[in-house]
């Protein structure tokens, strides 16, 4: 990074919060329209019943659950960048972690909606929680679905807390530069932060411990999500590979989503000095690692299906490759395991255009992966008599679009109301002004 | 009558000058020093020689409590299920199943551990506060380092001299 002064960093990074222009509002309105359509579709589903979806026996889990798994995965790389890379003292993280962490929180909110949409009567969601009632009908703690509730709930609470804790010193910066009602609101949010040695001492400790707690948490969350499948006996699901395979896939898709969000962001806010090509390249390098894990996982799945000698398992994997959902399968294989290997070429991982294009392809590929794993296994399990293909209805597609719109809406609001790059952490990268040098 | 105390405020541009001022004041026996910095610096902590933050005990306590709560919740609710407790419908499986209940213990350990870390931090730095303390300078969050020295009124001249000698950009005296 070019050597910058503290005040220059303040000026540049606070500029992102200046009043937005016409383009912003146009995007906002379009986004709200899609969201409204999604809400309408959900309302229609609630009013009419779950029959409006394509779900039926034997495919009881369709795009809602696939997209739930997809968004939870997206959330993972935010914590990877903000917590795990923090523990490893990776410097390039400082400029990009705020965006990645915001993505984590928003992706979790969006993901959390899908089980509610999927259960139909969303207002009865509290049945998932342990609460005393007349029949002592406690929830079943042996069920992976209950583990899921606790894992995702914990993840949402912890990542929101981590996000807000990281924000406080920056909110104080915003407060000190703002006037009028903005000063009052940010003053309230900054909670009287002053940057004293006393505050920094406890704050740094707390931040370190939160990062240390978030690290095993993030690995546990997608492991538990994978056990929703692996603990059952459906062919294609019942595998010990699932937990690491899902965690790697989650980070793979999340990193791609970070690129998809960062590239337009740095362009629109002219943050090229702060989020440099080197930052994007570092993410692309991490993507090479996750791609290799994906390749290994895909190969292992097929190898075990063949070598294990279980006919049902073999039939399931053959069905994935050449059956009704073959298109999604090949998208998954090519976009997740082959295309990202192009990042091994330096020119490709440093070209903004190819970074952006490949990141979108990975997003598509990863969604297809979730879809193939869930739907293809359910559609063709043990009894051929019960086989049935599933197609998402227009309601499901509309809700999917509305939910994605909700994610972008939260991101749009975040980009204007909060500093998208951590001011304090970028300052940490710059050596403090020293008198000796000034005299020279 | 109690001796009157004042607060001398020194504002610095340069970090090394700032550290030097803290060092000299400490050597002269001033203990009530508060350092302001836009970013955390280990050097400030080292010069001030403050004890280690006790936040870690909150994390440990919260984590432990969470693990016990998670395991306890799963165990007690299972035992409280009338059909199971009556001895039917368990299919020969243990009522208290250790492996799945450990997952609950793990998740709640993380949850409680994180929340109590935050609680520990807030209690230790006495936040949240509705507003900053009077005497805080908004430049402290931009690019200036600040030092508050609380001292008896008759010693303030000596403190100001030290700050001056170390190259403070601005020196102020607040009555408190």
Which residues on chain B are in Cβ contact (under 8 Å) with A183?
none
What DSSP assignment string belongs to B119-138? HHHHHHTT---SSPPTT--G
Please answer yes or no on whether A154 and B107 come within 8 Å at the CB atom. Answer: yes
Decide if pLDDT at A334 tops 70.
Answer: yes
In this prediction, residue B120 has a pLDDT band, given cuts at 50, 70 and 90, of: very high
Query: In A, residues 313-342, which contact B (CB 8 Å cutoff)?
Result: none
- 3-state SS class at B102: helix
Q: Is the pLDDT of residue A360 over 90?
A: yes
Quick check: A138 contacting B, CB < 8 Å? yes
Contact across the interface for B114 and A10, Cβ inside 8 Å = no
pLDDT tens, position by position, A397-431: 999 999 999 999 999 999 989 999 998 888 888 88
**Cβ pair B141:A176 closer than 8 A:** yes
Three-class secondary structure assignment of chain A: CCCCCHHHHHHHHHHHHCCCCHHHHHHHHHHHHHHHHHHHHHHHHHHHCHHHCCCCCCCCCCHHHHHHHHHHHHHHHHHHHHHHHHHCCCCCHHHHHHHHHHHHHHHHHHHHHHHHHHCCCHHHHHHHCCCCCCCCCCCCCCCHHHHHHHHHHHHHHHHHHHHHHHHHHHHHHHHHHCCHHHHHHHHHHHCCCCCEHHHHHHHHHHHHHHHHHHHHHHHHHHHHHHHHHHCCCCCCCCCCCHHHHHHHHHHHHHHHHHHHHHHHHHHHCCCCCCCCHHHHHHHHHHHHHHHHHHHHHHHHHHHHHHHCCCHHHHHHHHHHHHCCCHHHHHHHHHHHHHHHHHHHCHHHHHCHHHHHHHHHHHHHHHHHHHHHHHHHHHHCCCCHHHCCCCCCCHHHHHHHHHHHHHHHHHHHHHHHHCCCCCHHHHHHHCCCCCHHHHHC
3-state secondary structure at position B146: strand
Distance from CA of A419 to the nearest CA of B (A): 14
Strand partners, B12: B145
- Count of CB atoms situated within 10 Å of the CB of B34: 19
Do A295 and A340 touch, CB atoms closer than 8 A?
A: no
Cβ pair A42, A117 in contact under 8 A: yes
The arithmetic mean of pLDDT across residues A191-204, rounded, is 89
Mean pLDDT, chain B, integer: 86
CA distance A237 to B120: 42
pLDDT digits (tens, 9 = 90+) for A210-268: 999 999 999 999 999 999 999 999 999 998 999 999 999 999 999 999 999 999 988 88
- Mean pLDDT taken over chain A: 91
| pLDDT > 90 fraction of chain A, expressed in percent and rounded | 68
Looking at residue B92, its pLDDT comes to 66
What is the reported pLDDT for A300? 94
Tokens of A24: 């912003």
Considering only A6-10, A152-156, A281-285, A366-370, which range has the smallest mean pLDDT? A6-10
CB A75 within 8 A of CB A159: yes
The pLDDT-based confidence of B84 (bands split at 50, 70, 90) is low
Domains delineated in chain B: 5-38+143-175 (3.30.70.120), 55-124 (no CATH)
Phi, psi of B146, rounded to the nearest 5 degrees: -125, 150
pLDDT above 80 for A436: no
Cα separation, B164 vs A35, in Å, equals 61
Report pLDDT digits (tens) over A67-76. Answer: 999 999 999 9
Domains and CATH numbers, chain A: 21-432 (1.20.1630.10)
> Is B95 touching A (CB cutoff 8 A)?
no
Per CB-CB distance under 8 Å, the chain A contacts of B16 are: 434-436
Q: Is A142 on the interface with B (CB under 8 A)?
A: yes
Summarize the confidence of residues B10-14 as an average pLDDT: 90
* Token pair belonging to A222: 């997608």
**SS3 assignment, position B152:** strand
Contact A71, A399 (CB under 8 A): no
ipTM: 0.91
The label of the residue with tokens 């080197």 reads: A278
Name the residue among B15, B48, B121 with its Cβ closest to that of A203. B121
User: Which DSSP category does B30 fall into?
Assistant: -
Are A370 and A70 in contact by the 8 Å Cβ rule? The answer is yes
CB contact under 8 A, B143 and A142: no
Residue A391 region by backbone torsions, left for phi larger than 0, else alpha for psi between -120 and 50, else beta: beta
- Answer yes or no: do A7 and B110 touch at CB < 8 A: no
- Separation CA A246–CA A357 (nearest Å): 23
Give residue B44's pLDDT band: very low, low, confident or very high (50, 70, 90).
confident
Contact assignment for A428 to B138 by CB distance below 8 Å? no
Q: How far is CA A40 from the centre of its chain?
A: 25
pTM, rounded to two decimals = 0.92
B37 close contact with A: CB closer than 8 A = yes
How many whole angstroms separate alpha carbon A131 and alpha carbon A328? 41
Q: What percent of chain B has pLDDT over 90?
A: 26
CA dist list (Å): A249 to A69, A297, A298: 10, 9, 11
Predicted pLDDT at B6: 86
Contact A96, A412 (CB under 8 A): no
pLDDT digits (tens, 9 = 90+) for A300-312: 999 999 999 899 9
- The dihedral formed by the CA atoms of A189, A191, A192 and A198, expressed in degrees to the nearest 10: -130
Rounded to whole angstroms, how far apart are CA atoms B174 and A332? Answer: 67
């Amino acid at each position: 990074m070019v050597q910058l002064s503290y005040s220059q960093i303040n000026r540049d990074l606070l500029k992102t919060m200046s009043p937005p222009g016409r383009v912003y509002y146009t995007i906002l309105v379009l986004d709200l329209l899609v969201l409204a359509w999604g809400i309408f579709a959900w309302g229609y589903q609630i009013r009419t019943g779950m029959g409006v979806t394509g779900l039926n026996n034997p495919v009881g889990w369709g795009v809602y659950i696939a997209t739930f798994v997809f968004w939870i995965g997206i959330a993972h790389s935010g914590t990877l960048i903000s917590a795990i890379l923090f523990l490893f003292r990776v410097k390039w993280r400082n400029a990009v972690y705020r965006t990645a962490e915001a993505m984590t929180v928003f992706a979790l909110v969006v993901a959390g909606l899908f089980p509610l949409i999927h259960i139909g009567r969303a207002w009865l969601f509290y049945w998932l929680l342990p609460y005393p009632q007349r029949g002592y009908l406690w929830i079943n703690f042996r069920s992976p679905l209950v583990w899921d509730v606790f894992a995702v709930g914990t993840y949402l609470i912890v990542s929101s807390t981590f996000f807000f804790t990281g924000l406080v010193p920056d909110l104080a910066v915003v407060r000190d530069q703002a006037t009028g009602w903005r000063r009052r609101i940010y003053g309230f949010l900054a909670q009287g932060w002053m940057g004293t040695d006393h505050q920094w001492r406890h704050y740094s400790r707390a931040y370190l411990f939160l990062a240390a707690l978030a690290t095993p948490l993030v690995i546990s969350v997608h492991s538990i999500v994978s056990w929703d499948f692996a603990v059952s006996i459906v062919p294609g699901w019942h595998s010990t590979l699932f937990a690491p395979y899902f965690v790697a896939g989650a980070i793979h898709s999340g990193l791609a989503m970070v690129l998809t969000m960062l590239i337009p962001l740095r362009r629109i806010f002219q943050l090229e000095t702060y989020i440099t090509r080197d930052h994007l390249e570092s993410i692309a390098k991490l993507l090479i690692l996750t791609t290799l894990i994906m390749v290994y996982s895909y190969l292992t799945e097929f190898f075990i299906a063949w070598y294990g000698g279980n006919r049902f398992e073999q039939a399931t994997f053959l069905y994935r490759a050449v059956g009704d959902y073959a298109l999604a399968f090949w998208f998954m294989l090519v976009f997740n395991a082959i295309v990202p290997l192009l990042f091994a070429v330096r020119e490709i991982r440093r070209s903004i255009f190819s970074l952006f294009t490949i990141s979108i392809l990975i997003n598509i590929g990863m969604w297809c992966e979730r879809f193939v794993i869930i739907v293809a296994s359910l559609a063709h399990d043990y009894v051929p008599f019960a086989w049935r293909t599933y197609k998402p209805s227009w309601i499901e597609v509309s809700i999917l679009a509305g939910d994605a719109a909700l994610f972008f809406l939260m991101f749009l609001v975040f980009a204007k109301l909060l500093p998208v790059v951590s001011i304090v952490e970028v300052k940490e990268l710059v050596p403090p002004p020293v008198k000796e040098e000034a005299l020279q | 009558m109690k001796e009157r105390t004042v607060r001398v405020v020194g504002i610095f541009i340069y970090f090394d000058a700032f550290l030097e001022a803290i060092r000299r004041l400490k050597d002269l026996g001033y203990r009530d020093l508060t350092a302001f910095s836009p970013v955390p610096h280990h050097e400030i902590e080292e010069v001030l020689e403050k004890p280690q933050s006790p936040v870690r005990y909150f994390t440990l306590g919260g984590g432990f409590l969470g693990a016990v709560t998670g395991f306890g919740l799963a165990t007690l609710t299972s035992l409280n299920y009338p059909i199971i407790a009556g001895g039917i419908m368990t299919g020969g499986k243990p009522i208290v199943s250790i492996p799945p209940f450990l997952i609950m213990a793990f998740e709640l350990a993380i949850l409680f551990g994180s929340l109590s870390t935050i609680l520990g931090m807030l209690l230790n730095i006495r936040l949240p506060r509705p507003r900053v303390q009077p005497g805080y300078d908004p430049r402290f969050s931009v690019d200036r380092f600040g030092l508050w020295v609380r001292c008896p009124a008759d010693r303030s001249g000596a403190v100001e001299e030290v700050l001056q000698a170390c190259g403070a950009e601005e020196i102020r005296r607040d009555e408190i």
